[in-house]
Structure 1
Amino acid sequence: MAHPTQLGFQDAASPLMEELLHFHDHALMIIFMISAMVLYIIMTMITTKLTDTYILDSQEIEIIWTVLPAIILILIALPSLRILYLMDEINDPHLTIKAVGHQWYWSYEYTDYEDLGFDSYMIPTQDLTPGQFRLLEADHRMVIPVESPIRILISAEDVLHSWAVPSLGVKMDAVPGRLNQTAFIAARSGVFYGQCSEICGANHSFMPIVVEAVPLEHFESWSSLMLEDT
């Protein structure tokens, strides 16, 4: 969960988000080095007037500023492609959940169970209890077992939506008439919050996503109770 004055990302709750954080830090260090080098060259040219013929027409300088950017691009591209491959890899999920976006709430269907499904609406501000987060709490949470590969099938019934949970490293568009899929593993127990990340209408900011990761035995108890209620 984000906290006041936070400047960076939320703490990673999945291996995929950990990889994304590492890549962010890796790319940021490269940007810092490029910025420092360019600033140093500019300040040097201003203070010492390095504008002689050797600097302006040097073959060695032209080789450096042609080869160096190519190397930098390779250093960025290789880990980026690796993470893209990991994000698309879905191997033997333990649980499949279908998330359908509506104006303006989410519906969840646990496809491995015959009758397990529910709608998830935002809790109005006047109905919140102490400790709950305004605009982020939902009346029904999407409960998943911790440390289990989860596949999410994402679609929409009316307009474009986007199912996004930052701490899990998940963000996928919900498109009417199309079924997108993504996968993640919750590495620890907890409650993780997200919101629709597509401008889907007047109440776009009022369709939160709440994912609760619990131990497997707690998930089995929850699913049994939900099936009994239906």
Structure 2
Amino acid sequence: MKLAKTLLLAIGLACAPAIAQAQDAPQQAATVAAEAKPVAAAPAAADEVLAPKAGIGMPTDRVIGLQAQFSPNGRRALWMHDAVLMPIMVAICVLVLGLLLWCIVRFRRSANPVPSKTSHNTAIEVIWTLVPVLILVGIAIPSISLLAAQFKPAGKDAVTVKAIGNQWYWTYQYPDHGGFEVVSNMLEDQPKAGAKQRTDADGPRLLAVDNRMVIPVGQEIRLLTTSNDVIHSFAMPSFWVKLDAIPGRVNELAFKAEKEGVYFGQCSELCGARHAYMPIAIEVVSAEKFKAWVAAKGGKMPGRQTPHRPRPPLPLPPPRLPAFLPPPAANPARVPTDD
């Protein structure tokens, strides 16, 4: 009887978060819908939806490798993973497993009735010290250069996009293009009344959104991230991008998309009950389509900046004498001196 009560109590505690989430979901959705009002001039429904391609920019069934990369840093990181890290890890695992099996067979009790009295072997100790050092150096050299490339500041011609994390949706601002804002919420298969329903053209389940982050192809992007509530993380695997969004702080990362298309990611920092329903969708378009999209959102393309001309320095004011000193006379009398 006591065991049955314990099991019932455990089942109740396990189901409590799901029940609470189901009860809070309508209120959260209403709150998000009330707050998430984009300031763009054109409605999101008027945007031309670019259909994603299967296997590109999204997870693929029965694949254990990394996603295909479409950015310079991503291709470099994928090469390091496939050509450097994986061969080294496989070789080490095979070597260690082989040594274990050899030791089991070679030093079994039946073949060695008298235990070995060997205490050390200088040659073996030198080998197992130098070889790991060389392996670590071989991994560190490309790793350090890749890290430096990942955090290289964006150039002056980069397109700035500010991604703001909220519970549980993203807001994208374009400060270089008039400062307009796009609010991105996940599309559901069974939406509530008045909400848009997800289709295959929007993207996979739990990854499709109503408004995507749009960027031009082949142009450097300056990604800024911050948060309005808790810590989030902006992750886009196909571009090798992962940047935390922290309240009260702005993080920066530069990347470049090399191919047009739709790419999907997710918030990668546990941020609450609906953390799993906070997808990211980036639509990479041509420069002409990006310009038209900016105009449809009520923004404007940045103009050519005029060179900065420093102003001439202002004349210094006359020195002010202390109040206890008399002002100087116009024609001061000559004081006689003894020659």
User: What range is the shorter-chain TM-score in?
Assistant: over 0.9
Whether contact under 8 Å (1:12, 1:18) holds in the other structure is: yes
- Aligned to 1:227, which of 280, 283, 298? 298
Q: List per-residue Cα deviations over 1:54-82 (Å, max 9, x = no partner).
A: 6x522111110111111111111111111
CA RMSD of aligned residues (A): 1.6
> Is 2:131 the partner of 1:68?
yes
Give the ranges of 4+ consecutive aligned residues of structure 1 lying more than 3 Å apart after TM superposition: 50-54
- Provide the secondary structure at the position in 2 that maps to 1:57: coil
Aligned to 2:80: 23
Please give the alpha-carbon distance, in whole angstroms, between the structure 2 residues aligned to 1:137 and 1:66: 51
Aligned to 1:209: 280
Summarize the alignment of residues 27-176 of structure 1 with structure 2, pairs less than 5 Å apart.
27-49=85-107, 52=116, 57-92=120-155, 93-126=157-190, 127-131=197-201, 132-176=203-247
Please give the alpha-carbon distance, in whole angstroms, between the structure 2 residues aligned to 1:88 and 1:219: 26
Please give the alpha-carbon distance, in whole angstroms, between the structure 2 residues aligned to 1:30 and 1:90: 32
Please give the alpha-carbon distance, in whole angstroms, between the structure 1 residues aligned to 2:255 and 2:243: 12
CA drift at 1:43: 2.1
- Aligned to 1:190, which of 253, 261, 280? 261
Please give the alpha-carbon distance, in whole angstroms, between the structure 2 residues aligned to 1:45 and 1:103: 55
CA drift at 1:141: 0.6
- Provide the secondary structure at the position in 2 that maps to 1:108: strand
Q: List per-residue Cα deviations over 1:167-197 (Å, max 9, x = no partner).
A: 1100011000000011110011110001111
Judging by fraction of residues, say which structure has more strand. 1
Please give the alpha-carbon distance, in whole angstroms, between the structure 2 residues aligned to 1:38 and 1:112: 55
The residue type equivalent to 1:114 in the other structure is G
Please give the alpha-carbon distance, in whole angstroms, between the structure 2 residues aligned to 1:115 and 1:44: 67
Please give the alpha-carbon distance, in whole angstroms, between the structure 2 residues aligned to 1:214 and 1:4: 26
> More deviation in 89-98 or 45-54?
45-54
- Provide the secondary structure at the position in 2 that maps to 1:91: coil
- Provide the secondary structure at the position in 2 that maps to 1:125: coil
Whether contact under 8 Å (1:161, 1:200) holds in the other structure is: yes
CA drift at 1:52: 4.7
Whether contact under 8 Å (1:115, 1:227) holds in the other structure is: no
Judging by fraction of residues, say which structure has more helix. 1
Unpaired segments of 5 or more residues in structure 2?
Answer: 1-57, 191-196, 300-339
The residue type equivalent to 2:270 in the other structure is I
- The alignment of Structure 1 onto Structure 2 pairs a total of residues equal to 227
Unpaired segments of 5 or more residues in structure 1?
Answer: none
Percent sequence identity is: 40
Please give the alpha-carbon distance, in whole angstroms, between the structure 2 residues aligned to 1:207 and 1:38: 42
Please give the alpha-carbon distance, in whole angstroms, between the structure 1 residues aligned to 2:70 and 2:154: 19
- Provide the secondary structure at the position in 1 that maps to 2:176: coil
CA drift at 1:130: 3.4
CA drift at 1:203: 1.1
CA drift at 1:16: 1.1
TM-score after normalising by structure 2: 0.64
The residue type equivalent to 2:247 in the other structure is P
